[in-house]
Structure 1
Amino acid sequence: MQLAVLKETKDYEKRVALTPDIVKQLLKKGFKVQVEAGAGQNSSISDQEYENAGATIAKDAAAAAKADVVLKVNAFTEEEVVKMNEGAVAISFMYAYTIPSVLEAMNKKKISSFSMDAVPRISRAQKMDALSSQANLAGYKTVLLGANALGKIFPLMMTAAGTITPSKVLIFGAGVAGLQAIATAKRLGAIVEVTDVRPETKEQVESLGGRFLTVEGAEGVTVEGGYAKEVSADFLQKQKELIQEKIKDADLVITTALVIGKKAPVLITEEMVKSMKTGSVIVDMAVESGGNCEVSEIHQTVVKHGVTVIGEANLPSLLPVNASQLYATNISTLLYHLATPEGFKWEMDEEITKGSLITHGGETVHEFTLGILAKS
């Protein structure tokens, strides 16, 4: 079976789908690998390193895409689908409900596609969980970005010239990214407070040294796949009231709140930004999904009402070496589960296959994606 790695074309993207160490492992198992020229350049991986690992280098995307399985980090474009063989397999982060035209193009060519963001978050799929591996790095990086933009240090410091009080960090969301942000901010010495719509995260937050802010009515929140599926307007109002009190004292605010298949909820209004201390910082990790902060701007760092608002939409890509290493492990582990070097198993009722398969046999088969597209 021939695998191909395409060079990422999305703006601000520096990751690559496979790294040389994973290429070596794939070759030992009997797969063949070709890599588009320059695919690893932004992750500090040269074409020579891929060749040394045993891969062949394809001169361009058209040449690379002629393979049995085509791998990427970001969703495929219609132009890339056109270059692929009919009946090929495509694997990447797809967020398939956002790209109906690409799904249509895949179905015309009977391309089977698996989406890394749709891999079920179950114990036996942990090593395939690219959402978690990338969010972990994002949570770490977001604290460093915030600390760098803040005009004060994080820890308590007692000096001959006086005592410096620790910074206060307020984090929205205790998922993988939020938990890593808590751990990182605590290691740097900050006081950390956390709010999350899922009450079951309280124990995790406190185990990392954070203070969990409880919102009345949280027990009624529906959770699916680690995300809040549905949050009532009454709950959001109560959450905003709590935030309004806490945000005034925060030095750094980090927002991570996402609702799968929907626009990210606005948790920080412009009025709240106005109430914050001059010189404080907001990092909006949900900016690509519409943003949790009303004044954040995608791919931009702006100052609004004396507050620095960071809208970096691709935080894992700021750590491309580690992000690519982890993603390559995630995607290769999924591939080992789905296929052998002789071909795919196509165990259609198996949980991981069923959960991550988006298109197959000329049809979109993913139930969640079909449900979202039917509503749009």
Structure 2
Amino acid sequence: MNLTTALKGLVFAAASGLAGMAAAQDEPVKVGFVYCCPIGDLGWSYQHDVGRLAIEEEYGDKVETIFQESVAEGADAERVMTQMALSGADIIFATSFGFMDATNNVAARFPDVKFEHATGYKREHPNVTTYNSRFYEGRAVVGHIAGKMTETNKIGYIASYPIPEVIMGINSFFLHAQKVNPDVELTVIWVYSWFDPAKEADAARAMIEQGVDVITQHTDSTAPQAAAEEANNEGKRVFTFGQASDMLPYAPKPRIASIIDNWNPYYIERVGAVIDGTWESKSSWGGMPEGEVVIGEITDEVPADVKAEAEAMIAAITAGEYHPFTGPIMKQDGSVFLADGEVAEDGQLLSMDFYIQGITGDIPN
């Protein structure tokens, strides 16, 4: 081979390489979502999928999204994320607390793929981020409404798992109901599931039989709303709150308001960071100020003065003028959690493993 031929070969190879790089850069960012529940639940997974669709609307053909719903924790989650990584996913959002270990296990094997885990706390690898929302801010608002709306002075909370995220929600809900109604009593029923319509319905019915007339939940189905509707059709007066999404098909009665998990801003930002090459591992905990926790329509079932009070609380939290965990607050055992005027630090909330004073019963192990 003479020098001219060799140089021509090098030029051709370089041009081919550059063309390949350009083609690779033109390929859409592939975004995967792993859901613990069906997206038709109108709750948690549904709202994450709304965020997925928001990504598509924002970035168009710059992205390709894929998802898998109703994924069990453990080996199944690990398998699904592995398949997504092998299929070319650039970033994977694992949207349930129970996916925490699976996320980190798969991230270790795919260092070039970015992983984001919702509501968890483990970031064992530089390609893992954790993110959450300050749901307790929304619980404060609906707790205020519940305390004002109850006629029996009995309110209920259908809880999923005894983890800090759920416990702080219970405490915030009761704290703000008690502030406006010192006689209020709280019933908590643990169903040990994020999504189990049968258990959630049974829990709601059991509460109603005990005289509870306002129910909220940290579970994902609309079964509690259906149970309340059954009771109302029988002449009772029972109200519920939408959970994670607005649950509009169940409005305006018996749903009187809702806590909406608005993941759209976060997902758009993080996928944008992948597109422009600025993504980095971090821990995120947004709330009302960031637009990630939203109170949906407060229906006409709520008196105008109560609605105005709830809206004032929303405005104060959004402006950073009020923190739902501001002392004095006592623990269930009578010890001090927060002194007068003291505001809880994030570490105190993220490790919360106790009920506040006034809540009866024990937190299960």
Q: TM-score, normalised by structure 2?
A: 0.38
Bigger Cα Rg? 2
TM-score by length of 1: 0.37
